Amino acid sequence: MTEIRVATAVDEPGILAVWDEAFGEPDMAPRWRLDPNRRSWTLVAVDGADVLGAVSLVDQRRRSANGRIAPVLGLANVGVAVRARGQGLARAMTDASVAFGRRAGYDWSLLFTGTPGVYAPSGYEPFGQRRRRVGALRTNTEAAGRPTRLRAGGAELLAAPGIAALHDRDADRPLTAVRDALGWRRALSWYAGCRIHVLDGPDGTPAAYAVTRVGDEPALLEAAGDRAALAALGHVIRDELVRAGAATVSIEVPTGAPYDDLVARIVADPVPVPDDTGMFHPLDADAATVRETLDHSRAFHWTGDYL
């Protein structure tokens, strides 16, 4: 008989086997292991000692349109073993996650998926995001040279003193996550392999930073800081993307200040790309209140805060 329950230590190999079979994503297990309490936040579908499915629950705080910091329960890695599919286990695990969220007093639940039909029967509703634009890389401008006090490297630079404070300057933007220590560790895992630029001010503290992906899918994934410092980073990022042979760039930062000058240095006339992968389930909050946040003109979800 199949049971849905909280995971234990003996379930861990089975959980990882299910996720490897279902998703085949090498970064999934290391990201899950970042949380020392991960098993307490994982539900499994088991038949005796056999793990047939698993879902990871992610505890987040997200900013609301009304200024409130809302407790939000994220669902990630909803996976079922091939041998157990067609038995309704994904629905059962999703329903159990919703029930957990209600008992724990979360305002609402959040997930991202390309298969919304799996979650709609459990009460999840889709919402659109305005988080991505694509534009042609500017190549008709002269290289600007590297500014002084520039640091460049991998995701570890995001752990430098002063970076979190820059990120938190945009603290009134609806939908954004409030990153605690675990949230920052998860963000670093999402940005593994990315290029980080930090421009320091005259006092040696960061004035701006930016996260870019270089390669087959060039992208600007995150940024924060002073408008002028961000613009200076835009020149550096554009020059590096030109040297890498990029043609188009995905822009995944909000519109408006302080980001517009940064974006304008990198691409010309970026075009919005629809994103309907988000779904929500109202829990303690009513659907209309949650919608006010999701549909707000300034609402935004950073790549580093995916579940």
| Phi, psi at 186, each rounded to 5° | -65, -40
Q: Which pTM does this prediction carry?
A: 0.95
Say if residue 103's pLDDT is above 80: yes
| pLDDT level of residue 129 (50, 70, 90 thresholds) | very high
Cα 273 to Cα 219: distance, rounded to the nearest angstrom = 13
Cα 170 to Cα 179: distance, rounded to the nearest angstrom = 12
Nearest to residue 261, comparing CAs of 298, 295, 220?
A: 220
Q: Give per-residue pLDDT as tens, 243-279.
A: 999 999 999 999 999 999 999 999 999 999 999 999 9
Give the DSSP letter string of 208-266: EEEEEE-SSS-EEEEEEE-HHHHHHHHHHHHHHHHHTT--EEEE-S-SSTTTHHHHHHH
| pLDDT level of residue 146 (50, 70, 90 thresholds) | confident
Q: Give per-residue pLDDT as tens, 41-92.
A: 999 999 999 999 999 999 999 999 999 999 999 999 999 999 999 999 999 9
Strand partners, 123: none
Write down the domain spans for the chain: 2-129+276-305, 133-154+193-272
| Phi, psi at 71, each rounded to 5° | -75, 125
Q: Give per-residue pLDDT as tens, 178-223.
A: 999 999 999 999 999 999 999 999 999 999 999 999 988 999 999 9
Q: Give per-residue pLDDT as tens, 57-68.
A: 999 999 999 999
- Percent of the chain exceeding pLDDT 90 equals 95
How much is the pLDDT for 85? 97
Say if residue 110's pLDDT is above 90: yes
- Percent of the chain exceeding pLDDT 70 equals 99
Say if residue 142's pLDDT is above 70: no
How much is the pLDDT for 166? 98
Residue 242 burial (CB < 10 Å; 0-12/13-18/19+)? middle
CATH of 2-129+276-305, one of 3.40.50.300, 3.40.630.30, 3.40.50.970, 2.60.40.1220: 3.40.630.30
